[in-house]
Amino acid sequence: MKFTPELEIPGGCIKPLHYDDIDGLFELYKHPEIPGQRPLEDKEQLNRMIDYSVQMAATQRGMMWAIETEGQIKGMVSGFDWQPSNLRIVMRVDGLPSLTVEERAGALKAAIGFLSKKYHVRNFAYQWIEGQSDDIKVALSECGFTLAARLRDGWRTGNTEFSDVEQYHWVSSDDKPVPRKLGDDDELGQNLNANKRGES
């Protein structure tokens, strides 16, 4: 079953996590961007994360893509804390130092475009944590996000140390979906293969 599509971005694509990409993903997790997050030491843990990424997408709890440009995994774009009935989700991009602002914004836009069109998600949040690069805020601005709140000490970085969190939002102005009669919709589980019968 396939729930996470591969999507084009300038210079590359965002694509579902795959076991073949574990080395690239491991490199990414060795360079965490989030303050207080330790580099990953055990590559095997990524196998489980890839399993989770499929389960999360299938149950509409989240979606994860690898960002690939110039033939190299340079980051990940993810949606988590997905609340389908409230049509909202929190987005996150993790990148290697080589991931450019343009690539970051492109990946975010592609993921948001898909979630917006396919699942009618309207409200996208992004949490920037004090200590992260200001370049992330440039990418957010490029995608139309605006600052909604600064959550004091919202992120714990050590036993007694905390960082503020700036919460950004982008809310789509598209019309809300009109619910259809249950059973009339053949997009069961939003499985992308099932939606294209005869093509999968």
Partner 1 sequence: MSWNFETEHFLIRLPVSDEDGTALFKLLSQDSAVAHIPRLPMTVEAQALDELRRIAMRFETREAAFWLIERKSDGDVIARIGIQYINWMMLNAQLQWELSAECGLEELQEVLPVIVGYLSQDLHLHRLEMRLRTGSENHSNMLVELGFSREGTLPSQQEFEGEDIDLDVYSLLKGELKA
Binding site for partner 1 (CB under 8 A): 86, 88, 122-123, 125, 147-156, 162, 167, 169, 171
Q: Could you tell me the end-to-end alpha-carbon distance of the chain, in angstroms, rounded to an integer?
A: 10
- The CB-of-53 to partner 1 minimum distance in angstroms stands at 21
Identity of the residue, 25 or 125, whose beta carbon is nearer to partner 1 in the bound complex: 125
3 state DSSP class of 123: strand
Compare residues 38 and 197 and give the one whose CB is closer to partner 1. 38
Q: What is the dihedral of CA 97, 31, 42, 3, to 10 degrees?
A: -60
**Minimum distance from residue 9 beta carbon to partner 1 (Å):** 26
Identity of the residue, 76 or 87, whose beta carbon is nearer to partner 1 in the bound complex: 87
CB nearer to partner 1: give 1 or 147.
147
Query: Could you tell me the smallest distance in angstroms from the CB atom of residue 164 to partner 1?
Result: 9
Rounded Cα gap, residues 163 and 156, in angstroms: 6
Q: Where are the beta strands (DSSP E) in the chain?
A: 7-9, 12-16, 63-69, 72-83, 88-95, 123-129, 146-156, 162-171
In the complex, minimum distance from the CB of residue 185 to partner 1, in angstroms, rounded to a whole number: 20
CB of 140: closest distance to partner 1 in angstroms? 15
Asked if residues 8 and 56 have their Cβ atoms less than 8 Å apart, the reply is no
What gap in Å lies between CA 64 and CA 53, rounded to an integer? 6
Residue with Cβ nearer partner 1 (52 or 195): 52
